[in-house]
Structure 1
Amino acid sequence: MQLRLRQFRPRTGPHEHRVVQPRQPLRHTTLRAPDPIGWLYGDHDGLNRLAGLFSFAACSRHTIVHVPLRDAVPPDEGIGEPVDLVLVHHAYGLRPSKWPALRRALGAGTPLTVRTDEARTARDAASWRGRQQRAGSRDELRHTTHARTFFLFGSRDVFAETATSLAYAAGWGPRQKRVAEGHSRMMAGLPLVEPPGGGGGHPDEVLVCFKAYPPYAHFKRPGR
């Protein structure tokens, strides 16, 4: 997939960071952080581009991927405050408390076009699934919410697995029953690590839902 991005090189003290954002906003994609359940609603374009961004993040361990979602057109369902999304490798060392200052320093940025490697993403996702079948494997997405931003920290393989799940939701969501009438359909979930002290209630998760945007009369299922 070809991704049209905007690249930034902000500095915090002596450190330079590389931050990328989608060049065009994901207008019909909304994220609500888990408490303990979160929701990611998106149309085909939004879920498909998110899949590409996760695939890019998987192979870009020194890059922060920032997806502004707070100002997207909200769906007519779901609860909670919309949040932005940040993807970053767990070894990067980004502290969420430092993100607001870093975000303010982004400036205008420069255009960047990249192409993701779907074959490599599929191999990395298969590697993750193979390890998850072993006892004691805990390669999942760590998460936290700060400054109206949902942070996901992970490895190359777990980002790749999430990319394939989002691609599945983008491709098969439009084929589900009654989506042309405005109904959402849950298609996948994000593999989140349970936070410290959890275990007594519902585990944290983010449900990925396909939802077409109105007017629904314009929506057509693939092949029609």
Structure 2
Amino acid sequence: MRLRLRQFRPRTGPHEHRVVQPLQPLRHTSLRAPKPIGLLLGDHDGLNRLACLFSFAAYSRHTIVHVPLRAGLPPDEGVGELVDLVLAHHTLGLRPSKWPELRRKLVNGTPLTVHTDEARTARDATSWREHSERADFRGELRHATHARTFFLFGSRDVFAETATNFAHAAGRGPHQKCVTKGHSALMAALPTLVQEPGGGHPLEVLICFKPYPPYAHFRQPAR
């Protein structure tokens, strides 16, 4: 699928970084940080583009993907802090505490068009699921919340698995009966997040489909 982005090359000291954002905002998609349950709520367009962004992130080890979800319309359900989303490979070494400095330098970006490979993404997602059953599995998503931003750090395969979860939510969400009345439908969740020590309720981020209002515009796809 074709993905239209904006690319930035900010510098911090001697280091140049590559940061990309969606060229157009995901107007009807929002994210609430997990405390302990987070909620990602989106329409078909938003969930579909997130699937592509995760797929792009899976194969872009030296790129930071920034999705400014707070720029969209405020959701009419859910509780908790609304946050942006940042994706980065764990090998990149991005520190959340350094993000505000980088974010301030995201000016004068240049348009960029990329294409995602759904077949390759599906193969790597399958590989992640097969390895996740092993006792020595260490392929979870690391995460942090800082400066009104939710950070996800992972590898190629776990980002690919997440992309398939979003693609499922985008494809099957419009077929759920409850959404014709403006209700959200739980479709998936982010793959296993690294859990905080000390027990308690596991951290989760639920992925829900919801058409944007006014709901009279929404027509359920033919079965």
Query: Which range, TM-score by smaller chain?
Result: over 0.9
The answer as to whether partners of 1:47 and 1:169 remain within 8 angstroms in 2 is yes
Q: Do structure 1's residue 140 and structure 2's residue 140 form an aligned pair? A: yes
Q: How does 1:26-41 map to 2 (within 5 A)?
A: 26-41=26-41
> How many angstroms apart in 1 are the aligned matches of 2:157 and 2:25?
26
Structure 1 Cα separation of the partners of residues 159 and 124 of structure 2 = 9
Structure 2 counterpart of 1:112, which letter? L
Answering whether residue 194 of structure 2 is matched by residue 190 of structure 1, we say: no
Q: Give the distance between the partners of 1:125 and 1:177, measured in 2 at CA.
A: 28
- Contact 1:142/1:192 (<8 A) preserved: no
* Superposed CA offset, 1:109-164 (max 9, x none): 00000000111100000000010122231311000000000000000000000000
Q: Which amino acid counterpart does residue 22 of structure 1 have in structure 2?
A: P
1:57 and 1:87 in contact (8 A); partners too: yes
TM-score by length of 1: 0.97
1:94 has 2:94 as partner: yes
Q: Which range is displaced more, 106-115 or 70-79?
A: 70-79
Q: SS where residue 48 of structure 2 aligns?
A: helix
Give the Cα separation in 1 of the matches to 2:196 and 2:44: 35
Is the 1:143–1:192 contact (alpha carbons within 8 Å) kept by the matching residues of 2? no
Equivalent pair of 2:140/2:194 in contact (CA under 8 Å): no
User: Unaligned regions of 5+ residues in structure 1, if any?
Assistant: none
2:205 is equivalent to residue 174 of structure 1 = no
Matched, 1:9 2:27: no
Identity percentage over the alignment?
76
- SS where residue 91 of structure 1 aligns? helix
User: Residue 153 of structure 2 aligns to a residue in which SS?
Assistant: strand
CA distance in 1, matches of 2:93, 2:82: 25
Three-state SS of the structure 1 residue aligned to 2:183 is coil
Residue identity matched to 2:80: G
- Report the residue type matching 1:70 in the other structure: R
* Equivalenced residues, count: 223
Per-residue deviation, 1:4: 0.4
Matches within 5 A, 1:107-186: 107-186=107-186
Ranges in structure 2 where 5+ consecutive residues have no aligned partner = none
How far the C-alpha of 1:193 sits from its partner, in A, is 2.9
Instruction: Provide the residue aligned with 1:57 in structure 2.
Output: 57
Shift of 1:215: 1.0
Instruction: Let me know the Cα RMSD of the aligned residues.
Output: 1.0
Q: Distance in 1 between matches of 2:81 and 2:191?
A: 21
Q: Quick one: which amino acid aligns to residue 138 of structure 2?
A: R
Q: Deviations over 1:45-93 (max 9, x none)?
A: 0000000000000000000000001121122110012100000000000
Structure 1 stretch 176-185 or stretch 129-138: which is displaced more?
129-138
Aligned-partner residue type, residue 76 of structure 1: D
